Each structure stands twice: as structure tokens, then as C-alpha cells.
Structure 1
Amino acid sequence: METIYALSTAPGRAGVAVIRLSGEGAREAISHLTGAALPRPREAALRRFRDPETGAALDRGLVLFFEGPNSFTGEDVAEFHIHGGRAVVAAMLRCLGHMHFLRAALPGEFTRRAFEHGKLDLTAVEGLADLIDAETEAQRVQALRQMEGALGHLYEGWRARLMKALAYAEAEIDFPDEEVPGDLIAKLGPEIASLNHEIGAHLDDGRKGERLRDGVEVAIVGPPNAGKSSLLNRLAGREAAIVSEEAGTTRDVLEVRLDLGGVPVTLADTAGLREAAGVIEQEGVRRALVRAGKADLRIVVAAPGEGTDFALARDG
């Protein structure tokens, strides 16, 4: 299998950047860049990195080596901890790209190799992706539990029980005339019913995990000058939307991303719902209705003394 490399930290200016390699060529790449002996596995070693072709100094940083299969991917893995300047990172990647036994990794390829070598199952892979994308504390907790096997252990338990139930059924079918201890079919029914109930309850959770992962869409709707933009600004804690006594100030959908109790929420301020006169305002009202229709939650705002029947009717 080819040896791959990639920048593992976010691109851009930073104090430290990490470049990771995975595959049989990781050892050779360390030798080419440092001209020094391979560090002991899992021990950081300070090394000077040089261009293998010219000998010019590139940077000074740490080298870590993880010998397979005791690594994230299950293969030999090397990590170069270098200074995070754009020029330093570019120079290191350029030198790695000139090594014929290396190639740039595809998106997610390190994790794919971890899966292929049995280091992660599919639920853990999904949890890892969610952990990297987590924006709130609740998202982090859920993703970490999944990455560490909470969901995988649950599914594995169901699989084991299904395999046992299948064995009971096969024993009754394959050996009808033999003396099989116990009434296997009698044991099979309650177990299948129990599994059916547990799996059904797991699936019928109101999409809680999905909502936490993807976030909740909330649309603020209502007639013009009802205070929708003021509500958005108050919840956002800043002047995200223009507030004016002039009706129809909001013409497009304005979004604000919030963290409410650990749940990611996208709050959308929409155009006032009324019989619009101009083409632009008509388009704003149309977009407001579309966005409200797709939202998980709609907050209807009306001025004091006014009802909400008009806004609700227009919203469908």
C-alpha cells in the first residue's frame, strides 16, 4: 500500500503545524528529511529538517514515529511537528512531494486506513468526523461517546443476540428428529420481541442525535415592524440585523448561528409577511415562506394588540 502524507492541522498561520505520514515509506521519509536515526517509537525527538535534494535547512522541530500496528492507521506513522508559518509548511510539503515513494493523501484517507486495519468501526469513524466538526459542548460529548464505541457496543450487542437467535432457529430446522435440549423456539420468540422493541425505541427518538449533530433551524416570521429583527439581535447579543421603523427593512433571510445550551441553532430573520407591492419585497416574502416551511421551529412575532392569524395563514 502506498505511503501517504498530509497536513493534519488547519492550513494558515499558526504556532505549530503537524504533517502526518502513513505507510511503509514513513521510516525512509524521516531519514531523508532529517539525515538522522529513527527516533524510538512514541518518543518525540528534536531534529533539523533539510531539503534532501539541496541540503538546505527547512526548519527545526519534533519528529514522532508510531510503529504499526500500534498506530492510528495500523501502519507505520510519522509526524513532523514544525513551525506553522505558511512558507515552512509549503517547503516541507514540497520536499515530501518530490519523494517518489510518497503521495498526497486523499480526503479522509488516514481514517479510511484506520477502518481497513480494524482500528475503527464505521460508527467510530462517523463519531470522529462529528468530533472534528463539533461546535458546541453537547456536540462534543455526543461525538466523543460515539467515537469511543458507545454506539458500536450497542450494535454489536444486538448483532450477538441476533446470531444466537438464528442459531436457535437453525437448530430446530436442521435437527427436527434429534433430541435438542430445551424448547429453542420458545426461547426464540421473546428474544426477537425484545430486540424488536429495543431497536424500535432506538430509532424512534425524535431524531435527537441528528438534530444535535446538524443543528436546529429556527425561523422568525410575522408581519412587518413586529420586532423580528429586534428579537434576533437580542438572542444574538449583537446588532446582526438592521432595526428601523420603516416597514419592509428586511428583504432577504438573515442567519445567525447560536449555541443555545450546547445545541447549535441557526436563527433566521425573515421578511415581514404582507401583500408586498414591489418585486424585491415580493421575493423576500416568498423566501420567508420557503424558509419557514423548512424550519424545525417557527417563532411567530406580532405587534402588541395584533393577532398572528395572517402570518400563520401565509406560512401555510
Structure 2
Amino acid sequence: MAIQFEDSFQRKFYYLRLSVTDVCNFKCTYCLPDGYRPEGHKKPSFLTLDEIERVTGAFAQCGTSKVRITGGEPSLRRDFTDIIRTVADQPGITKVATTTNGYRMAKHVHEWREAGLTNINVSVDSLDPKMFYQITGENMFNQVMEGIDAAFDAGFEQVKINTVLLKDLNSQELPKFLDWIKTRPIQLRFIELMQTGEMDNLFKKHHVSGVSIRNHLIANGWILKLKSSNDGPAQVFCHPDYMGEIGLIMPYEKDFCQSCNRLRVSANGKLHLCLFGDHGIDLRDLLEQDEQRDALIARIQGGLQQKSVSHFLQDGNTGMTPHLASIGG
């Protein structure tokens, strides 16, 4: 192993979120309410398989053990299974995860598993088909549920479900969700709505804090679990009477960034030090040849010295992120 990626606040980075496309076929109200709109008139040039191999190899050499393949919707890439296999083949990578809207899972999740996918997150913002359609803009609830069943059939011991909390939309569904995970090995992750450049009005109308859910869980016997070094930011709770778990992601909470262990590379090859940072650091010119790895590692490590102590979301600073699909959420 070369140097361990570390910032000026002594935070080490074991987790890479790698976006492979910013295209998505859903129109979620909190992300792409008008659907995918490519920037400019040129066809987007996303990272190639060779470039993905080089960037993940550099991260793996410097201590990264987990890669999450994101989008947009990553399974829209025709070479998605090859991407999984390429990432999984990197020495030192022990977890290969993806976050998907689930619409292709029923048909393809077995081959993803065989290619080396170890963890899977599915975005499900409601267990009510009508509300699911209202939030996502797509009538695919049944297909997504079939995909989750297929993931268990393929050998995944646990499936994580991402649910963005939306006041007056799905915020009343906690009892239904709890009943759903009582006999299923699902980690249900409630994510606070986050403010981005294009979503100010939606945020003001629908933001709800996860604190009330946490208080409810603790009062009803749920116990906070310890984290491992490459886990994400969720506070995970378990209960002796439930097969499933609850995760809470609350980015507005004090000290949320203190344990940050993840970096992001966008689909066009930019390093993002934070989901809500002000700019990206271009890596693509150093992804053309294997011989450029030392220079690539040096640029990433140099960029890390610019990483801020916090995202400052709590101060109303949303950075330059226009929407969550733009750099992989």
C-alpha cells in the first residue's frame, strides 16, 4: 500500500463513491423533478472501463476498501456488470456496492452478484404505490419490489433501502415501514432531505428532521450499533424483535462531518471532496495511462489538503451542487 489518503484534519478515507453516469430514468421530486437534462449540446463523455480501473486502482492502493458505484442510475450503463467486475478485481477492495432505483434488478441482480457486487442499496421512497409514483414520477413500484426479492434470491444477506424523508408526503409511513422490516433482513435508511442549488423551495416545504424518528426508536427499545471504518454516515439501530434495521442519515446534525471517510469521483472524472463542495478537481488527464498512477495519487492527496472541516449545510451553504444526481448523491 502507498500513502493512506488523509486530509489536514487527520481523517482517513476508506470509501469511494464512484459515479458512472448522471443519467437517470426516474424523475424524483427531490432530485430530478423534470427528468434528466444533459448539460450543453454535446453527448456526455462518462468514464470508460479503463479509466474506472485506473482510478479505483489508485484509491485501492491508498487504503480504500469500499467502492460504491452510483449515478444517476448506474444500471443504465450497458457495461454495468463489467464495471462491477472491474472494481471487484482491484486488490484491496473488499466491498463493492451500488445504489440503484431498482428497476433493472429483477432481471440482472444475479449477474451483478456473480460479477462481485457485495452490497446493494435500493431507493424506495414509499410503500404506497400511488405515493411511490407521486415521488418518483414512474409507476414501477411492483418491479422494484420484485427486484428486492430477486436480490435475496441471488444471495444478498441484507438489502439496504434508501428513503428520503418528505414532510406531508411519506413522513407518516414509519409504522408501515417498521412492519415491513420486522421479518425481512432489510436495513431501512431514512435520509433527511438535503438542500441543493435547484431545490430551495422544495426543501423549505418538505424538509423534516430525523431526530423525531431517532427519539421514537430509542423510546421503543432500538439500540445504536457501532460503525466499522468503511461504513457510510448512517446511525444504525437494531432491535431484538426485528430482523431488519433502521439507519438514519442526518446531515444537519452537529459534527456530522467529523467522521467523514469517503470521497467522490464524478462520472466525468472529477474528484469531489464533499457532496456540497464548491468545485471538483479534474483527474481525467491522469487516467489515460497506467504509468500515471503516481501523479494521480499525488493530485488526489494534494486535493485532500483543501477539504473543509464541514459541509456548512447547517449555515445554508449548499455549495455548487445543482442536484444530487450530478455527482452521485
**Same fold by TM-score greater than 0.5:** no
Bigger radius of gyration among the two: 1
RCO comparison, higher one (Cα < 8 Å, 6+): 2
TM-score (norm 1): 0.22
TM-score (norm 2): 0.21
**More helix, by proportion:** 1
